[in-house]
Amino acid sequence: MHNSEKKRIGRNITRAGMRILISAWLLPASFLFATPPRAEALTADEIIERMEANQTHSTAIIEGRLVISDRFGDRSSTYIAHSEGADRFLVEFTSRAEEGQRVLRRDDSLYLYYPDARETIRLQGAALRDNLLGSDISYEDMTGGRGLASDYRFTLIGEDEVDGYPSYKVELVARTTSVAYPRQVYWVDREEFVLRRAEQFARSGRLLKTVHVLETMRRDGYHFPSRMRVVDETRRSSGTEMIIESARLGVSLPRNIFSLDALTW
């Protein structure tokens, strides 16, 4: 395969639909429409654009935890995430069992660092479909960040209510075959333009994942999901909650924090 073609496919994969799941690690900092007035007769493109704007920012430091549930019980992992823009972040796990493990996203690539390993692992191809810490979130879900519009066509298919919040129901149909979810349905809050619910489907129409926003958070004029439950519908009795415990936006980050050298500090 030609290099440019590989890059294009790689970029398309990284723009895959589940990027909304990591909005918690990619919070907005330079957003002008955090609580916009109610928009009348918005198009689907405008709704998604506003929702994405609510999740795009210059820099952020987030502390939170993942609560992973399955038939054997719950387990919790804490993390601190540094992010810059929509496509660079570094997540470091701080809980005892995963202490020091890091995930770096830069240049459309995902790197894993483990204290016991002498090399970093660059996840590519099928490895991206593996789950982060055995949760319902795949590494592929942590890619993306360049805007849904390049990978999907949007159609407003109605309005609905999610947990009492009036929401736009928008269908996303993939423009390319290289995305993780060929079809998605988003429920976007009509007032706040924050995601309330999402469903992701396979090409066959099978439901693969659902995302349910349980709580939202307001910081510095931004309004974003702060507690989400992600369920991989292909697994039995599982679910993962992503919880943000603190968020600092627009902060200055250490130099070279997103470099490969810094990853192995």
Smallest gap from residue 228 Cβ to other proteins (A): 20
How far is the C-alpha of 149 from the C-alpha of 52, rounded, in Å?
10
Closest distance to other proteins from the beta carbon of 81 (Å): 17
What are the tokens at 256? 């070279």
CB of 50 to other proteins, least distance (A): 36
- CA–CA separation, 78 and 65 (whole Å): 4
Which range in 41-49, 71-79, 141-149, 169-177 contacts other proteins by CB under 8 A? 71-79
Cα-to-chain-centroid distance, residue 41:
27
Spatial contact of 204 and 181, defined as CB atoms under 8 Å apart: no
178 within 8 A of 155, measured Cβ to Cβ: no
Q: What is the DSSP letter of 38?
A: P
CB of 120 to other proteins, least distance (A): 9
69 binds other proteins (CB under 8 A): no
Residue 125 touching other proteins (CB under 8 A): yes
For residue 49, the SS3 value is helix
126 binds other proteins (CB under 8 A): yes
Applying CB under 8 A, which of residues 42, 127, 162, 214 lies at the interface with other proteins? 127
Nearest to 95 by CA among 74, 71, 66: 66
Does residue 40 belong to the site contacting other proteins (CB under 8 A)? Answer: no
**CA 257 – CA 38 distance, rounded (Å):** 39
Least distance to other proteins, CB of residue 130, Å: 8
Q: Which stretch binds other proteins (CB under 8 A): 16-24, 95-103, 166-174, 257-265?
A: 95-103
Residues forming contacts to other proteins in the complex (CB under 8 A) are: 68, 70-72, 75, 77, 97-98, 101, 112, 114, 116-119, 121-122, 124-127, 130, 132-134
